[in-house]
A and B are shown apart, each in its own frame.
Chain A
Amino acid sequence: MFILSVAALLATPARANEHAPAARLTVVPDGEQLFDLMTGETTLPDGGTIIDTETGVELRAAWIRYVEGERIEARDAVADIDAGRISTPELTIDVPALRAEATAGVTLEREGLTVTADAATVLFAPGLVRFDAPTSEQPLMRGAALLLVAHSGDAVLLGPYAFEDGPLTLQDDREDARLQLRPTRAEDGSLRYRAANEVDADLWEELEPIR
């Protein structure tokens, strides 16, 4: 088994600077791996698993190609991150920027939230995810975009949006409309949301990188 360490995933910038990237990642191919001496690219045509040994982030894909310390490309990928489990046909990770892009559709699953979107942007360092044209069955909603804070689950749905909770359906057709969603734990242990069409200033500032 060929083991190669690459850039850290979902680590804070400080941590990324403190530790050598090669020491944090483990690549486990499911089959053969091809190394291109001219470009420095390594391809796992049978897929494999990339594990961040420090954060525990695990990326599994049916096809992977990466350049050490620069980027990772994956197809039919599933990644477990702080925000939940992301599934996408195509995923590109910019290793130095600690940024991932899913442009061919994406699904996020986490407790109390399942979102499907046309595209997604993940900023690993601050732990933020932006979904474009998201739709969700739990809770039932759709919007122009959904901004998600990975560690808290706080989210903001950007308009035009519609959000349904029980017998209530909130919708706003204005492009500058926003709906803040904050998860709360119900007495039965299930996760519900508090919705408000005025966003907390702190949250809005925290989401600034993906707005």
Chain B
Amino acid sequence: MTRPSSAWTAPTPSRRRSAAHAAAVHAAAWMTLLLLAIPTTSAFAQGDAESPADFAPFGAAPYDLAPQALALATPIGAPCAAVGGEVRLAGVGNARFDRIELDGDSGDARLWGGVCIDATIVGAVLRAEEVRIFDLEGDPRLQVEDAVLDLGAWRLAVRRLNGSVTALTLTEVHLLAPGLIGSAEAGSISADGAELSGAVLATDAWLFQAERITVAAEVITLHAPVAVPCRCDRPRYHLSGSEARVRFEGGDATLLRPALHAASLRLPLGDRFDLVGGELDTAVPLRIRADRNLGTVVEWHARDARGPRLTLGTVSEPSRGPLLDLQIEGDGANVRLQHDPRGPVLTASQRHELHPRLAVTGFSEANLRGARALLRSGAHLSASTPRASLPLGGTDGLVLSAQLRATLGAELAAEPVSDGGLGPAGPRFPASLTAELRLPLAAAGRLALDAELEGAFTPGTLPPIPAEAGAWRGSYTLRPSYQVSVPVAGSELRFSAAYLRHAPLGVGPFAFDAVSERSRLSGEATLAGKPFGVTEATASLRAEWRLAPEPPGPQRLGASASVTVPLGSGFRLQASLASELAGLIGGPDGADWWQAGLNLQGGADLQADARVRFGVTDGVLRDADLAARVPIDLPVNANDPNALQGVRLAPYLAADFAPWLRGEGPPTLSAHGLRVRIVDCCGTVTLGYLRDGDGTAFEVGVSLPDLWRDGRPPEGPVDPGDLPEDWPDRYGDEP
């Protein structure tokens, strides 16, 4: 039989897929771990640390699938075609074939010509050109060369298969599934499942090596696996774990008890790691972020999907200090302890569902942050109605939908002050009623009303309730809104308007439930469409206006517009213009102010961009920023696949011209930054920083490369011209 040539070959850089399909960049990933692990993890640099240079993922078996190439045309899991001769081997399964010879004397049988065996005893479908069965009268044994074995959702291409029909031995195995290919030196299959040894698996973005693999219906489990994010000859880093589970369709994997190996160091990464496509779909254990209240935050996460979540770190504001966040959840219970320089917060709750719409929640809270701490403990009973529809009649068939929620509670509360003095402490009985009304007006838009009435009764406190407070307090909230979408000359105009009224009803003894007065009218209009064919344009106007009796505050107006123009060859140019106007109007004498801002930004997929921003306060130009980022590519040796494939520098500078425009002095440097993108055999690493008036931010990311395969795909249409004329039709309904 002739076979079409087919080979699975190693990727070359020029074959790499587009960045769109490549793994997304993650802000904190491998390089973060590498950079931070090296100086801090000498304690991990012992034991089973494995040198990446010793890891050779391609030594197990060659990617040579030519002998089974034709059988790959059959979809995985396709049953044997129900045509032709059939032989049933008692207790094993049924076989289809073109030819059969059965020797009743010797107890041997030979089946050949598109043999397909539905081996129910091991839950597999076996396809081969020839199958020999021995010792039919005793313990039947199979001997097959170049077999294709469909096991659950997986396909095994086996060079040799022999042994008892209840315990088969496999030699030279290739494993196939959509998005996954692998090879193994040997294996076995029985009613308990299939097991492979000396195996290598490759997904689009990961390579796994394991001493042992168990194959189940939808999941492959790798024992003591090692994973690298590329097919480079000498990976610079890799992952190991106690176990990896690779799922069908796409080869997504979960690595249990993962550890990172790099530069002879071993760094544990927690309990599990999800490898989805080319991305590290996991909460990366170490993260650096900026927080409005805590400044620069460095966090270390220890996460387990079924166990407690622990975060340890340090913060810079309001003072340098430790950060702790421990959260335990399960069966409706939630306990969380948080601590930072502002103080500790401990919350605990337990929810019991008495009915799908009736629940009791017990809770305790100890918030020792700030000058006035808070201690609470109690229980709430909450109930809600189903969303009811009330026909309003009329020719338009208007239907009003409504839902009510109510809460009753009993609790003890105390607010000790930070200097050790006593604050109010006593029982408290809160209640609330919330209503949601929705009235769709078909093409005329939708009306909505959200209303809430809440209050609390405090019969008495220690010390006694002061005269300016009362036993009753409460508040009400009303928020009517309207939104509509109208087509306008091929574009879409979206308009929304809302009024918020939030007002206190009395004053209680506790500060934590004090209510701020709100009375605001807001609206937004957005026009979006393609006014010039392929050019996408969006323009919007926003406003938020404070009305009496809310205390005076800044009124806000804003406008923005953006245009996206395709430039061809996959490039798009996007320009945006945004302005904000805010001011205190009608406030106390001498307190009026207004400020305007203007942003103009243009850029393209080339990563070059520019921005202009103006800020005016009380008629005085305060800011006039001009910022630009221009990428620069450094020369590299692209001919060496193990060398760097590309280095791009993108410096960023922003200057404030306001002092110069005011005649007060030269422009000042308001921000600077640098982004470096390094492409090598193992992926793309992005490093960067940005320093501006808000502080310094760092960017670290890794984009993983794809694997490429050549030759016939495991699934998909097959050109009949590739098949020999005598190709037997037993392999499947659509060979």
Q: Which A residues have a C-beta under 8 Å from some C-beta of B?
A: 139, 165-172, 174, 177, 184-186, 192-198
Contact = CB atoms under 8 A, between A and B. Distances in A.
Contacts of B136: 165-168
B694 interface: no
Contacts of B133: 168
A196 B101 contact: yes
Contacts of A167: 89-92, 136-137, 140
A197 B140 contact: no
A166 B84 contact: no
B142 to A, nearest CB: 13
18 contacts: A165-B104, A166-B104, A166-B137, A168-B87, A168-B109, A169-B89, A171-B85, A172-B84, A184-B103, A185-B105, A192-B105, A194-B101, A194-B104, A194-B105, A195-B102, A196-B100, A197-B99, A197-B100
Contacts of B92: 167
B88 A186 contact: no
A170 B105 contact: no
B105 A186 contact: yes
Among A139, A170, A194, A196, chain B packs the most CB atoms within 10 A around the CB of: A170
A198 B99 CA distance: 7
A139 B92 CA distance: 21
Nearest to A196: B101
A193 B100 contact: no
B102 A169 contact: no
Nearest to A192: B104
Contacts of A166: 104, 107, 136-137
B86 interface: yes
Contacts of A185: 105
Interface residues of B, number: 22
Given A170-B102, A192-B105, A197-B100, 5 more contacts: A168-B136, A184-B103, A186-B105, A194-B105, A197-B85
Interface of B: 84-92, 99-105, 107, 109, 133, 136-137, 140
Contacts, number: 68
Shortest 6 CB-CB contacts between residues of A and residues of B: A192-B104, A167-B90, A195-B102, A169-B88, A172-B85, A192-B105
A168 B102 contact: yes
Nearest to A184: B105
Contacts of A177: 85
A174 B105 contact: no
B165 to A, nearest CB: 10
Contacts of A186: 105
Contacts of B109: 168
A143 to B, nearest CB: 13
A183 to B, nearest CB: 9
B105 A171 contact: no
Contacts of A197: 85, 99-100
Contacts of B87: 168-171
A58 to B, nearest CB: 31
B104 A172 contact: no
B104 A195 contact: yes
Among B90, B103, B105, chain A packs the most CB atoms within 10 A around the CB of: B105
A198 B101 CA distance: 8
Contacts of B89: 167-169
Contacts of B101: 194-196
A181 B208 CA distance: 52
A165 B102 contact: yes
Contacts of A192: 103-105
Contacts of B104: 139, 165-166, 184, 192-195
A186 B137 CA distance: 13
B99 A168 contact: no
A19 to B, nearest CB: 40
B681 to A, nearest CB: 54
A197 B112 CA distance: 11
Contacts of A139: 104
Contacts of B103: 184, 192, 194
Contacts of A169: 87-90
Contacts of A170: 85-87, 100, 102
Contacts of B90: 167-169
Among B87, B109, B133, chain A packs the most CB atoms within 10 A around the CB of: B87
